[in-house]
Each structure stands twice: as C-alpha cells, then as structure tokens.
Amino acid sequence: MSLQDIKVSVDAVVFGYSSQTGLSVLLIKRKKEPFQHCWALPGGLVKDNESLEEAVERELHEESGVSINYLEQLYSFGKPDRDPRNRVISVAYFGLVSPEAFTLNASTDAEEAKWFSMLELPDLAFDHAEILDLAFKRLQGKIRYEPVGFELLTEKFPFSDLEKLYSSLLGEPVDRRNFKKKIMKLGFLEQLDEKQQLSSAGRPGFLYTFNKESYFELKEKGFNFWV
C-alpha cells in the first residue's frame, strides 16, 4: 500500500464593490504552467510552518498586494484531478474589501492582478469558477442574516449606494421604500447633516455612515432581514 501524497493549498475569493462598476472579484494572471497566462484566484500551497489563515493572507498579499484582516473559510475542494500536477486539496476563503483602498501589485507566481466585474468574468484556471460561484452564493445568503456594506462602501455615502450594493448582490432591484425602512429600523445606519456633491443637475441627498458599534453588534448576533 502506497503512502498518501496529498498537498494542501489555499485560494482567496476577494469581492470588491463600487457604485460605478458594481460587484467585482480580484483575479491574478498566472505566470507559470499549468494554465500559464490564464486568470485565477490568488492562492498557493501552504508551507509546513504556517496555518491555513497565515497561508491565504501571505498568498493574497504576495500575488496581488492586498491585505485583509479577516477572511472567512468557505469550503474545501478536493477532486482528484483538480490540479494536473499533483493531488491537491484547496481550502478556499472569501472576504470583502473596497478596491479603492489598495494599489494592486502582482509578484511571485502572478504576472498581473486585476479587478473583474462579476458580470464580465474571464475563463478561470483549475476549478476556480466553481469556487467563485460557491463564494458568490454564500455572499448572497449572508446578506439575509447579517449586515453587509461596512467593508465595501466609503465612510460616508448616499443611501443609493447601499441600495445599489444590495441590488448587485441579489441580482435584482430592491423595493426602494421598503428597503430603506427596514435598514433604518435596524439601527446600524446614521444619517449625517452633510449632503452629497453632485456633478450634474439633480437634487442632492443626505449622506449616511455606519454606526460601527451597532453594525458589528448586529453582525455578531445576526438577524433575519428579509422577513
């Protein structure tokens, strides 16, 4: 009986958002075979002396220049033929960031790092399309039981940006009046005295900000938003 020869890797699904481009995902262009010059999720093999969390943070920073304080473990992917080089089990993680907070810088095994709209994705290497699809479904489910937005929106934003974010995540428009009523009732959003600066004709609306204490308290406890 032969001994197992299984390697462990990590992959990072990092979602970003802007009111102009909608929901996006961070991808890297592979420098080496297999799938040389193809787009893929940031990731790589776990070193002997590091944890899974340390590995995914290191790979993400090395291949894209992005650092995230919190990545949530998504799922383990272990089909025998998912990597043509070896038997590799990948533990996937996902997180949310504001793309404007980072300057992308590809290095090590990546020749380029880029944000792609979720509506215009390239073909992905390995089984990364399957990983990304599961991460997106997890995110869609997540917004139903905990608040989402603090990681993706600017410190001050018009309410329409939060509305567009949820519409983008759900893949369909939200009922504007009902949505705002529900959000404000939850108490993690504060209306400011400031109004947005418009570059074109129109009526400027008030800006909003997240109440950090209420936001993270609700995030910890959870809620059933769509009832």
Residues identified as active-site? 112
Report the C-alpha gap between 62 and 36 in whole angstroms. Answer: 18
Report the C-alpha gap between 73 and 220 in whole angstroms. Answer: 16
Q: Give the torsion through C-alpha atoms of 40, 164, 207, 98, to 10 deg.
A: 0
The structure tokens 């304080």 sit at: 69
Nearest CA among 125, 142, 138 for reference residue 34: 125
Beta bridge partners of 207: 158
